[in-house]
Structure 1
């Protein structure tokens, strides 16, 4: 008595090459956009305060760094 195990894929089958190409392209685009958004969040998080300081240092009345960093 031998039992044979058959695995069936659920959902739509991707037998055509056109569908698999479209599927991989959309998956690649989704992964790339997710990676880009994550990197943009990090750059924004760590780059915002230095950007404000650089803009403040290049303004017309040249403030000192202590004047830029003081809350008053």
Structure 2
């Protein structure tokens, strides 16, 4: 796999640059204050801690009318 990623003058990977993944042979060290976050088994990228937290946040789940929320007996006022 081609090892192309956006790097700074010190050879550290910039934000959103690729830093890993299956068969990745390029650089693996992100700039200071960024972490290498696995997005899939084929791709990891450098993200700020804030962006990584957002990326790992679970998507909201829509509960159908009459459905249970977290197993509780919460009822809508409607």
Q: TM class by shorter-chain length?
A: under 0.3
Higher helix share: 1
TM-score when normalising by structure 1: 0.28
Higher strand share: 2
Specify which structure has the bigger relative contact order, considering alpha-carbon pairs within 8 angstroms and separated by 6 or more residues: 2
TM-score when normalising by structure 2: 0.27
